[in-house]
A and B are shown apart, each in its own frame.
Chain A
């Protein structure tokens, strides 16, 4: 069975400092992993995806994530936070079938 755990429900950073949003997954198969961002009252936008081609994945808006199989992790990072990064972020696992498993979400706050 597949599952995904986002370790922090809220993360607060100052503008210009690094961002780290943590995600651990569980999958019986070789998974595809995704990060999505959701701004208030908007749909979800795909940030990046891991599909076994490379363990370090670069996405939009300066975000990247590293797949670590030994740690079953797929943490999202950004070197320098911007005010516009304030949003909710979802880690997602997909491993066969029609279903996609979403994490509970991490709300990112960026302080000026």
Chain B
């Protein structure tokens, strides 16, 4: 079965500082991986998805970037955080016969 790990679980960072959130998956090879952001009172916003190592598609222009250095590792980064980057970040992968998405536990980011 698939397992998704996200690190860290919570993070408080000052405006202008860098960011690195990590997502690792187990139990599958060559997964499609996704980063979502969930801001307070809003639904899920797809930020990036990746179909393989080094392949990143960005859904919205923003202050963030993503990288996939290994098959089962997906990293979300920023050089300088903004207040608007605060939110709950979820990593997901598709799996199963009908390509349903499975989610990690999330990272709560607060930018002060």
Looking at the complex, which one of A44, A94, A99, A105 makes contact with B90 (CB distance below 8 Å)?
A: A44
Question: Do the beta carbons of A104 and B101 come within 8 Å of each other?
Answer: no
Looking at the complex, which one of A43, A94, A98 makes contact with B103 (CB distance below 8 Å)?
A: A43
A-B contact count (CB 8 A): 53
Question: Do the beta carbons of A34 and B43 come within 8 Å of each other?
Answer: no
Nearest Cβ distance between residue B90 and chain A, in whole angstroms? 6
Judged by a CB distance under 8 angstroms, whether A102 is at the interface is yes
Question: Do the beta carbons of A42 and B105 come within 8 Å of each other?
Answer: yes
- Chain B, residue nearest A43 (CB): B103
- Which residues 58-112 of A have a CB within 8 angstroms of B? 90, 92, 94, 98-100, 102-105
Judged by a CB distance under 8 angstroms, whether B49 is at the interface is yes
Proximity bits, A29-62, B CB within 8 Å = 1, else 0: 0001010100001111110010100000000000
Looking at the complex, which one of A49, A98, A104, A105 makes contact with B98 (CB distance below 8 Å)?
A: A49
Question: Do the beta carbons of A98 and B100 come within 8 Å of each other?
Answer: no
For chain A, give the interface size range: 20 to 34
B-side interface mostly: strand
Question: Do the beta carbons of A41 and B108 come within 8 Å of each other?
Answer: yes
- Which residues 81-105 of B have a CB within 8 angstroms of A? 88, 90, 92, 94, 97-105
Question: Do the beta carbons of A90 and B43 come within 8 Å of each other?
Answer: yes
- Chain B, residue nearest A92 (CB): B101
Judged by a CB distance under 8 angstroms, whether B11 is at the interface is no
Question: Do the beta carbons of A51 and B43 come within 8 Å of each other?
Answer: no
In the complex, chain B residues whose CB is within 8 Å of the CB of A100? 34, 46, 94, 101
A-B contact pairs, 10 of them (CB 8 A): A32-B99, A32-B100, A41-B106, A43-B4, A43-B105, A90-B44, A94-B99, A102-B43, A102-B44, A104-B42
8 additional A-B pairs beyond A43-B106, A90-B43, A98-B32, beta carbons within 8 Å, are A32-B99, A41-B88, A41-B108, A42-B105, A44-B92, A44-B101, A46-B102, A100-B101
Chain B residues engaging chain A, CB cutoff 8 angstroms:
4, 32, 34, 42-44, 46, 49, 51, 57, 88, 90, 92, 94, 97-106, 108
